[in-house]
Amino acid sequence: MNQPSVPADDPANSGGIVRCTICNKATIVSVSDIVGFIRSGWPRCCGYVMTLAPARQANDSGNV
């Protein structure tokens, strides 16, 4: 069965968005990225751990 392709950078189809609370830098991450963060450490920016906004919450806010 052929399924339509979905853009990889669509937050609705990702694990969520990691965001720096200092500079507000945001990156869309996949579920597999999140699994990797759990195993090897969460991403950091500006010297602090970035926070995760779930895909639904990130999509509702309209901010990326």
**Confidence (pTM):** 0.63
Q: How far is CA 43 from CA 14, 32, 46, in A?
A: 16, 14, 11
| Paired residues of 17 in beta bridges | 28, 53
17, 11 Cβ separation under 8 angstroms: yes
Measure the CA angle with vertex 58, ends 54 and 62; round to 5°: 170
15, 34 Cβ separation under 8 angstroms: yes
Compare 64 and 27 and report the one with higher pLDDT: 27
With cut-offs at 50, 70 and 90, classify the pLDDT of residue 6: very low
